[in-house]
Amino acid sequence: MLIRYALALLPAIAALTTASSAIYTWQRRDVVGARAFFGFVSSIFIWCFFTLFEYLSTDQSTRIFFGKLQYFGISGFAVFWLVFTLQYTHNDSDLIRRKVAILMVIPLLSLIFALTDTWHGLIWQTAVLVGGRTPQLVVEHGWWFSYVMIPYNYVLLLGGVGVLLSTFFASSRLYRQQTLILLSATLIPFFFSVLYIMADVALYGMDITPLGLALSSITMHMGLFPGKLFEVSPISYRTVFLNTTEAVIFLDKNYHIVDLNPSAAQASGQDRILGKLFIDAFPDYAELLATPVLEESTKTIVLHTETTEYKEVKIRPLSGSRGRPVGLVVIIRDVTLERRRQERLHHFAYFDSLTGLCNRRQLELTGELALQSTTQGAWPVSLLYLDLNKFKAINDTYGHAIGDAVLVYAAQCIKVCVRQGDLVARIGGDEFVALLFRANREAALNTRFRILDRLETPLSIESFPCNCPLALVLLAIHRMEMIYSLS
């Protein structure tokens, strides 16, 4: 009798530890995988709880009653386990509710068959209580239990183990500790269950599966807190590889594609490119592998399609054991938006937003280089200065929209009158400068006369509110001077 009560502590311990684990998990139910894990430990709790009462019962009918109630936990725990491992390792992208519902069909049928077993014997063909100091309920299982329910549960358990193993080899040390805890918690009761069902091993009349569940529950309970399970969850390198927006391609030593992520497959625009040469699958980047790649390098490739695209390509050699080269990894990142943003910032920094001419900063930078070339005996450089006097009167009389049109007009007049390569800048509100390269005083004066003639061209602006032509207003206020000519 003492041995019997001592052995009853095993399912009691298992029930207590799984109950505390269930409470701990439910408090963190918003974490990925927590709800499925709650279902798993709750199922084990139900199994162990009714196992305790079954083992302590002394008559056959009571034992059979509590044995059937165990199936509320036995039938579905493997499904919860598989769903948990898929969610915990972030491999549940295709795991929708409909698929989970399909997985639960056999467990629900098993539960129904267990509760109605006296009518058909699909779970227990016979159940006889054998007396002695430690009475044992000897059960001969039916075909549903032996050929459907148990194989199904084992397949799901092994599936979860496989998912965890793949994560174990692709995770960092912290996540490996977590995964190892979960693997141990799964394999222990699995081993004991196989001994009981396949080898008919019992412990003083008790199913030894609860013993495995007790050890498993203690393992999980001890691992939940120091292992920080549900505080942080692992994201495998494979998950990052598949979900990154950058195109990642792995090549062997002969530049054949051995693996690539969806972003790379989409960038190639081809089907079934595994095994192809990189230059055949990505011809736009063929020049990158024209020479052997001995060290990491980063280059920018310009693709001229419907719009100009910029791709930053990083190539890194891969080494295996003992530092032997095994291939390359090519990472292609679209930097078009970054380039365009940089171009816009550069334009704002060095060009006038109204006229499109260079601003004072660009003039100063270019002027310094021009003066240096002049002092070194190169071609002469001349500078023309245009100031629109009394320009404020136009803004005050006709509004800033007309004033802006006058400034744009003046900028166009100067721009078309200088040569290609000369620099025209707006350095103030109504002040312009033309920097003429390889131009002596005579060439500068000729350019000055061309600009004056151009300014005499009548300017008409739609809906201009003034009775007099704008050209007359403009010619009345403009003044142009040549400040100096270096020759």
The domains located in the chain, with CATH, are: 2-234 (1.20.1070), 244-340 (3.30.450.20), 351-486 (3.30.70.270)
The predicted pLDDT at position 72 comes to 93
Contact of 219 with 180, CB cutoff 8 Å: no
Question: What are the tokens at 388?
Answer: 């629109």
pLDDT digits (tens, 9 = 90+) for 361-397: 888 888 777 666 655 555 677 888 888 767 777 778 7
> Which amino acid is present at 157?
L
The closest of 176, 157, 160, 178 to 168, measured between CA atoms, is: 176
The predicted pLDDT at position 122 comes to 92
The predicted pLDDT at position 425 comes to 92
The predicted pLDDT at position 143 comes to 92
The predicted pLDDT at position 230 comes to 57
DSSP symbols for 187-250: HHHHHHHHHHHHH--EETTEESHHHHHHHHHHHHHHHHTTTTBTTB----HHHHHHH-SSEEEE
pTM over 0.75: no
- 482 phi and psi angles, rounded to 5 deg: -95, 115
pLDDT digits (tens, 9 = 90+) for 106-146: 999 999 999 999 899 899 888 887 766 667 777 788 999 88
DSSP symbols for 290-325: SS---S-EEEEEEEESSSEEEEEEEEEEEE-GGG-E
The predicted pLDDT at position 113 comes to 94
The predicted pLDDT at position 107 comes to 94
Q: Which residues contact 464 (CB under 8 A, 6 or more apart)?
A: 398, 402, 470
Let me know how many helices (H) and strands (E) the chain has, helices first: 21, 13
Order of all β-strands in the sheet with 257-260: 257-260, 247-252, 325-334, 308-319, 297-304
pLDDT (tens, 9 = 90+) of the chain, 487 residues, equals: 566 677 777 778 878 888 888 888 888 777 777 888 889 889 888 988 888 888 788 788 888 899 899 999 989 988 998 998 888 777 777 777 888 899 999 999 999 999 999 899 899 888 887 766 667 777 788 999 889 998 998 899 888 888 888 777 766 555 666 677 777 777 777 777 766 666 566 655 556 676 676 677 667 656 655 555 555 555 555 666 667 788 888 888 888 888 888 888 888 888 778 888 888 888 888 888 878 887 888 888 787 777 788 888 899 888 865 677 888 889 988 888 888 888 777 777 788 888 889 888 888 888 777 666 655 555 677 888 888 767 777 778 778 888 888 888 888 888 989 988 899 999 888 888 888 888 888 888 888 888 888 877 666 665 554 433 333 333 333 333 333 333 3
The predicted pLDDT at position 199 comes to 56
d(CA 289, CA 209): 59
Q: Which residues contact 454 (CB under 8 A, 6 or more apart)?
A: 413, 416, 417
Cα-Cα-Cα-Cα torsion 62, 63, 67, 72, nearest 10 degrees, comes to 30
Under DSSP, the state recorded for 287 is G
